[in-house]
Amino acid sequence: MDAVMRTPAARRYATEALRFANAARGSNSESWRKRRPLQQLPGFCGGLSSAELAEALPVYARAPQTPTSLRTLFEFGLHPTPQRVMLSAQFLHQELAVRLAHRAHELASLPLGLNKMPSVRKVHRMYESSFAALLRQRRPRDTDTESALSDTMTTILHRHEDVVKLVARGVLELKAVQHVNTNNEDIQRFLDRFYSSRIGMRMLIAQHLAIRESSARENYVGIINSKCAPEEVILDAAEAVRSLAYRHYGDAPEVEITGALGLRFPYVDSYLFFPMFELLKNSVRATVEAHENADSFPNVRVAIAGGEEDVTIKISDEGGGIKRSAMPSIWTYLFTTAEVSPHDLLHVSDSELGDSSDSDENGFDDVDVAGSSPGAGYRMGMDPIAGFGYGLPLSRLYARYFGGDLTLVSMEGYGTDAYLHVCKLGDKQEILY
């Protein structure tokens, strides 16, 4: 056993994968069978009927999910030997099925009639299809079965690309039909659970697909950058935002970066780029609109601080701030201070949902971060949506996924300070619902 496998985090990951493998072979452990009742189903054998799949889904939905942490994924992927790639595949073969079943079960039982909306039903069918694809896939035992599973996971990534917009459209369909308030607490809690789970599944899949590639990028362990540089990510996000501002407004404020400029730590670049892009976009737009008649704009200021536990990034602007009465709404989905009509999203066609264009046809706020050229290198593991009031709540989910957070403090009439906290230690387990 190599030195890395002796680290507790990597050992836990490998142990969990081996437990799955042993249980699939028919473990005699009564306690394990109680924890994982799905092992008594005829799953993972490649020949399940539709009836057997229908029987399996609610059982998988009752099985506990297995949380992981950034440090675990990083340490386990440091030396991706064939054995480790196989253990990762065996773990994901079952874990992804459990997570998909949890979400499919929730989609089928959503309150207020949301589960009956056409777009939500389409998403439900996607999750059922992906669940079925995993169960019909044989448990990885050799290169061929591992490769087949990786192909299936790649298909799942692409199949689910439009899920965020589809669910958003489903909420608007409900509002149009039943006049339900989109700020309803049950709906907001569901969206938090659903999108957080989606972030986790895409992270696990993207990490596995990356570590199995023989031509790894320098300083990367899968999709985790061992030397993530906040200053560089912020510069890229600022370039992307200012490019959009010039295209939409014809001008843009400077973005000034100070603090711990040489800081490096293991993190997923895209999980930092996404919230930075959103926060800078909000600050730049507010600054331009608040000073539209001025000869020049005040800078948007970004300060980086590296503590023992957290990396904290503060974004400050003089864009006039947010009304105190509006502050409780900024974390709700489909809330936006920009003039973007919900009608635009409700009537997006299926073909347009797959379009990753960053056209500003619908305004400065309606931008696909993952597809925009300046940020194209951050696409892996990201959600293909920004705008329509999803930027802030999704950014907070990305921050919280591995133990960070995002908070805003506003002074109406002056500006806003945003604080993005990122867990530097990487030891926080993902929160699973």
For the chain, 433 residues long, the average pLDDT of each consecutive 10-residue run is: 46 51 38 40 60 90 95 94 95 97 96 94 97 94 96 97 91 87 88 95 96 84 96 97 93 98 97 96 96 96 97 99 94 67 52 38 40 42 52 94 96 98 92 83
Residues 147 and 294 both lie in one domain: no
Residues 215 and 234 both lie in one domain: no
Residues 250 and 147 both lie in one domain: no
Residue 354 lies inside a defined structural domain of this protein: yes
Residue 67 lies inside a defined structural domain of this protein: yes
Domain CATH code at residue 78: 1.20.140.20
Can you tell me the distance from the alpha carbon of 97 to that of 38, in angstroms, rounded to the nearest whole number?
Answer: 10
Residues 255 and 351 both lie in one domain: yes
Which residue, among 137, 14, 135, 21, has the nearest Cα to 85 in the 3D structure?
14
Residues 215 and 313 both lie in one domain: no
Residues 109 and 195 both lie in one domain: yes
> Is there a contact between 373 and 279 (Cβ–Cβ < 8 Å)?
no
- What per-residue confidence (pLDDT) applies to 302? 99
- What per-residue confidence (pLDDT) applies to 7? 53
Domain boundary among 201, 220, 239: 220
Number of compact structural domains in the chain: 2
Residues 260 and 196 both lie in one domain: no
Residue 40 lies inside a defined structural domain of this protein: yes
Domain boundary among 204, 220, 236: 220
Can you tell me the distance from the alpha carbon of 309 to that of 303, in angstroms, rounded to the nearest whole number?
Answer: 17
Residues 163 and 199 both lie in one domain: yes
Residue 432 lies inside a defined structural domain of this protein: no
Strand 224-228 with 220-221, pairing: antiparallel
Residues 187 and 252 both lie in one domain: no
- What per-residue confidence (pLDDT) applies to 16? 52
Residue 429 lies inside a defined structural domain of this protein: no
Spell out the residues 6+ positions from residue 356 whose beta carbon is closer than 8 angstroms to its own.
368, 370, 371, 384
Residues 165 and 24 both lie in one domain: yes
Domain of 389 in residue numbering reads as 225-423
- What per-residue confidence (pLDDT) applies to 340? 46
Phi, psi angles (nearest 5°) of residue 239: -60, -45
Can you tell me the distance from the alpha carbon of 240 to that of 220, in angstroms, rounded to the nearest whole number?
Answer: 23
Residues 138 and 256 both lie in one domain: no
Domain boundary among 220, 238, 264: 220
Two structure tokens written together for 393: 């709540």
> Is there a contact between 27 and 39 (Cβ–Cβ < 8 Å)?
yes
- What per-residue confidence (pLDDT) applies to 42? 43
CA contacts within 13 A on the Cβ side of 52:
14
Residue 431 lies inside a defined structural domain of this protein: no
Residues 24 and 88 both lie in one domain: yes
